[in-house]
Structure 1
Amino acid sequence: MSSLANKISVPIFSGQNYDYWAIKMKTYFQSQKLWELVEEGVTLPEDSSTSSSAEKGKLENKKAKDSDALYYIQTAVADHIFPRISVATSAKEAWSILQKEYQGSANVRIIKLQTLRRDFENMKMKDYETIDEYYTKVRELVNQLKAYGEDIPEKRVVEKLLISVTEKYDPIVTTIEETKDITTLTVTELVGSLEAYEKRRSRREENSLENAFQFKLNMRSQNSNRKEKF
């Protein structure tokens, strides 16, 4: 067992956000070089009597690692979920039980993936949203798609943001499309440009409101002075 495993606490699954939990656990298992065991399990020979001592040693080592992985899964679920995997004797079995119950069968996952794809295609920025708020929603949907096996290229996310922001961003979108290579533009660069434009626009609107307010005050003051003269 790696010393790193003693320093990192596994994320606890309480029944919500299974997809995110599964991604974190997969990363954890990969860091401990246990993911292959969780995904594929331990293959036992049909007849171990002919196995060499070296082969038997490797098998015992795999079994021990599989027990480590199973323990991590048992530790990573809340008490009310543990009974579902309490009968599992291998990490693969426990992982499969949770995956089937909380992520669904292959058909259910396909339907969910289709729904997520449709949501991604139809997603548009609301007038009241900021770039940060909207991008957070897009990123969360992209992460869900990835959890269901759909890898969304960064270029596609860039294109999605450019065509789905509200009309008030048209000037900066046009500038970006005319001056940047969209095929190499990163999401970070795009969001940074949109946020910078958003801040400049917000400052101009604030200045306009302040000027209008000051103008009204001046007009009231002038009218008041005129009335006093008469």
Structure 2
Amino acid sequence: MASASFSPAAPPVFTGEGFHIWLVKMRTYIQAFNLWEVVNSDAELAPLRANPTVAQMRQHTDERTKKHKAMSCIQNCVSDVIFTRIMTCETPKQAWDKLKEEFQGTERTRQQQLLNLRRDFENLKMKEEETVKQHSDRIMAVVNSIRLLGEQFDEVRIVEKVLSTLLERYKAKISSLEDSRDLTRVSLTELINTLYAQEQRRASRIEEHQEGAFQARSKPSSSNAAYKGKKNWRDKSKADASKK
């Protein structure tokens, strides 16, 4: 049972949208009250044995009321419209499974969704105009969708995906990393930060080059202006001399 000093905030009320995220938050919320076992299993509580002690009677009562507490958690975290779909369920597991079936689909549907997402993951490539951060965000969007469907997805696999889909301009940095680090131990955050630093240096060099080119183009214009000024001064001097 959650301690008196800790009272977890209830998940947002589920109204019919964002079920996968609500499901994860709701599971954590139920676990915080040590009620997940009765939601995940419909096992019947063993009957109280003969001549129980007071402690055994109290424990049996606590175990028996867990299902009601879990059901209360679920019912109070859905909107009235959603509640009408589970109000005839007699156990928290029935209510939980009913919600999953309606808003997550059957196991066959889930597997089809996973298949499509895995295909999307494999087909992801870095776009020419993308930054490393934008590219990794697209990858993580697919990965998180897969994780929300209950499939494990190791970070090592994500790092490998980022490395294998980077553009040619990052190859030198990758080679440098391979020489100095064990890439199987590099976290995604560390990799992105390293590549981001390279992007910043590259952007600075391009900016300096453009600024230098602009200054180089500006110099002839200044010389021409000076020459034109001298020419106008000589022409004016000649005109004044002829008047005299």
Normalised TM-score (structure 2): 0.82
What stretches of structure 1 move > 3 A for 4+ residues in a row? 3-7, 48-60
Does 2:170 correspond to 1:169? yes
Does 2:202 correspond to 1:201? yes
Contact in 2 for aligned 1:38/1:92 (Cα 8 Å):
yes
Q: What is the distance in 2 between the residues matched to 1:51 and 1:88?
A: 32
Mapping of residues 72-151 of structure 1, within 5 Å:
72-151=73-152
Q: What is the distance in 1 between the residues matched to 2:148 and 2:36?
A: 16
- Residues matched between the structures, number: 228
Larger Rg: 2
Question: Over the residues paired in the alignment, what is the CA RMSD in angstroms?
Answer: 2.4
Contact in 2 for aligned 1:42/1:63 (Cα 8 Å):
no
Q: What is the distance in 1 between the residues matched to 2:64 and 2:6?
A: 18
Aligned to 2:234: none
Aligned residue identity for 1:160? K
Aligned to 1:37: 38
Aligned to 1:24: 25
Does 2:66 correspond to 1:65? yes
Contact in 1 for aligned 2:117/2:146 (Cα 8 Å):
yes
Shift of 1:37: 1.4
Aligned residue identity for 2:139? V
Identity of aligned residues (%): 35
Q: What is the distance in 1 between the residues matched to 2:228 and 2:14?
A: 73
Q: Residues 42 and 209 of structure 1: is their aligned pair in 2 closer, same or farther, counting only changes over 3 Å?
A: same
Q: Using the TM superposition, name which of 92-101 and 71-80 deviates more.
A: 71-80
Q: What is the distance in 1 between the residues matched to 2:217 and 2:51?
A: 94
Aligned to 2:238: none
Q: Residues 49 and 149 of structure 1: is their aligned pair in 2 closer, same or farther, counting only changes over 3 Å?
A: closer
Aligned to 1:155: 156
Q: What is the distance in 2 between the residues matched to 1:82 and 1:227?
A: 86
Aligned to 2:9: 8
Which string of whole-angstrom CA distances, capped at 9 and with x for unpartnered residues, describes residues 141-182 of structure 1?
Answer: 222222223212221111111011222222212211232212
Q: Show structure 1 runs of 5+ residues with no match.
A: none
Q: Residues 99 and 228 of structure 1: is their aligned pair in 2 closer, same or farther, counting only changes over 3 Å?
A: same
Shift of 1:85: 1.9
